[in-house]
Structure 1
């Protein structure tokens, strides 16, 4: 693969690719394989990855701005120290990956698979996580203020001590998740009570 900006790459095995010293800019990858790739420290700007496979890849300390990882497999990968700003991870699978610490700002995780993910004490405020799979995810102490969790699957998700003020969360999510010590606003408290069959007078 050339080291210049732009370019489109389809159905390629790029597992041996290394980041290099220069950021990747405005590149598009479609159905490419980055399996077990060493991409530590990679910097991307306005790059898109569609249906790519990052299974077992090392993306630690990488930085991604205004990019997209749509419907990508990021399974058993390392993302500790990674930063995503203004990125879409719509439909991405991040199962069994090492995610902490990770920085996610103004990102879209709609339909993302995060079952059993360890996101303790992570700042997820304002993120779009509509219909995300968060079954058994560990979100203890996470900052979820203003996050959109509409339709998210939260069965046995641990939200102990999380900050949910201003977050959009369905009543069934309030029933399914563990919420001991979580911070909620008045509207959420009423919804929680109603979801548990209580009458608020």
Structure 2
């Protein structure tokens, strides 16, 4: 099925726009999109193995029950998108920004999500396992009850983030300060406990 494209304001110099399309169950594997804008497009149950999306904007897109493997969403912007039962495995989302999105049964396994922006995101009970999230912006994000295991959060912005009852075992918590983030009831290992104690000014020996 051919992709419908339109040019914003009819200007041939503008980037392609996909609007109000039903892509339900579409296989996007291996396809490449650069500087596209997707408005109110239904990506429910899409399959994406190795797709590349660079500097794209997704507004009001439904990613429900979609599966993304070894795909790249670099420097993209997601606005008011829904991620229900969505899975990302070994994907790259470096430099991407998520704004006013909803996440339910959201899972990220492996891959590189460094410099990603998720400020204020409601990621309760989400799963991040073995993900590289260096210098990610999780300011005021809700991760209470989430699984954040084996995640590289070095240099991340975590002020105001809520990790209550989260499983943080194996993650790099060097950027986490227990006085500026909620961590009550979180699961950590002994090495992480030493890092947190040091952040509080204790001398660990």
Q: Is the 8 A contact 1:85 1:105 kept in 2?
A: yes
Larger proportion of strand = 2
State how far apart, in whole Å, the 2-side matches of 1:183 and 1:14 are: 43
User: Secondary structure of the equivalent of 1:187?
Assistant: helix
Structure 1 position 199, deviation (Å): 2.7
**TM norm structure 2:** 0.87
Which of residues 178, 188, 195 in structure 2 aligns to 1:184? Answer: 188
Say whether residues 1:133 and 2:111 are aligned partners.
no
Q: From the superposition, tell whether residues 20 and 37 of structure 1 become closer, same or farther in structure 2 (CA, over 3 Å).
A: closer
Q: Is the 8 A contact 1:171 1:192 kept in 2?
A: no
The more displaced of 189-198 and 15-24 is 15-24
Say whether residues 1:93 and 2:97 are aligned partners.
yes
Q: From the superposition, tell whether residues 14 and 158 of structure 1 become closer, same or farther in structure 2 (CA, over 3 Å).
A: same
Structure 1 position 65, deviation (Å): 1.5
Which of residues 157, 162, 180 in structure 2 aligns to 1:158? Answer: 162
User: How many residue pairs are counted as aligned between the two chains?
Assistant: 195
> Which blocks of at least 5 consecutive residues in structure 1 are unaligned?
4-9
2:87 corresponds in structure 1 to: 83
Q: Is the 8 A contact 2:155 2:175 kept in 1?
A: no
Q: From the superposition, tell whether residues 180 and 14 of structure 1 become closer, same or farther in structure 2 (CA, over 3 Å).
A: same
State how far apart, in whole Å, the 2-side matches of 1:79 and 1:163 are: 21
Which of residues 148, 167, 192 in structure 1 aligns to 2:152? Answer: 148
2:8 corresponds in structure 1 to: none
What's the RMSD between the two structures over aligned residues? 1.9
1:140-177 CA distance string (max 9 Å, x none): 12111211101110001001111122111225544432
User: Secondary structure of the equivalent of 1:192?
Assistant: helix
Say whether residues 1:25 and 2:43 are aligned partners.
no
State how far apart, in whole Å, the 2-side matches of 1:176 and 1:99 are: 24
State how far apart, in whole Å, the 1-side matches of 2:175 and 2:20 are: 46
The more displaced of 154-163 and 170-179 is 170-179
State how far apart, in whole Å, the 2-side matches of 1:144 and 1:154 are: 13
Say whether residues 1:170 and 2:171 are aligned partners.
no
